[in-house]
Amino acid sequence: MKSPGRIFLDTSVVNFIIEYSEQINDGAPVDHPKDRICSDILALSTIHYFANHNPIELIVSSTVLQEVQATNKQQKRVAMQQYCSELSRRFNHLVNEDTTVNGRQLQYFEEFLLEKGLDILTNKNDRRLILEALLWKCDIFCTRDYRTILKHRGRLKKLIPIQPLTPSEW
C-alpha cells in the first residue's frame, strides 16, 4: 500500500491510543498481551513516528470530539481531549482548507449514501464519522470498531472510496 497522506482516527483509536499511551509512545511492556492489541500498539507506535517525520496528517473530527466529551471517566476524557487538541492544532488548518461543505450539503450526502446502503451502519455517529473522513479526503479510516464498522467493511468497500482499516492492517 502506498503511504497515506491523511488518516482519519475514529474514537475507538483515540481511546486505544490513550489507554496504551505508555506502550505506544514509550515502549512500555504490555500486560497480558493479546495478538490484536500488541499488533495495534506496534502499528500505532510506527504510525506516530512516521507521522512526525513525514507529510502525514492525523485527523479527528467534530464527531470524534463529541464522543470524547461523552466519555464517563474524567481522567480518560481529559487525556483524550488533550490528544485531540494536539492533533487539531497540528492539522486543523489543513482540514479547514478542505471542508467547505455546510450542514445541509452534509445531510444530502448522508441521505444519498443511506439510499445506497450506508444504513448497514445503524449508529448515526458511525455514519457521520465515515462521512467526515470522506469529506476531508482521507486516505484511510483507521478504526478498532469491530462490532459495527469493521464488521461491515466488505459492504462498505462497495459504497465508499475509503476502506476502514485497523492500525495494524496498513
Cβ atoms within 10 Å, residue 163: 15
Backbone angles phi, psi at 71, to 5 degrees: -65, 125
Q: Could you tell me the pLDDT band of residue 29, with boundaries at 50, 70 and 90?
A: confident
> What are the residues facing 19 on neighbouring strands?
none
Give residue-wise pLDDT tens across range 30-51: 876 778 899 999 999 988 887 7
Cα gap 58→64, rounded to integer Å: 13
Query: What are the structural domains, with CATH classification, of the chain?
Result: 6-169 (3.40.50)
Longest Cα separation, the chain: 47
Cα gap 21→151, rounded to integer Å: 26
Nearest to 10 by CA among 157, 156, 133: 133
Whether the per-residue pLDDT at 144 is higher than 70: the answer is yes
Give pLDDT, residue 103.
61
Whether the per-residue pLDDT at 89 is higher than 60: the answer is yes
Give pLDDT, residue 57.
84
Give pLDDT, residue 92.
57
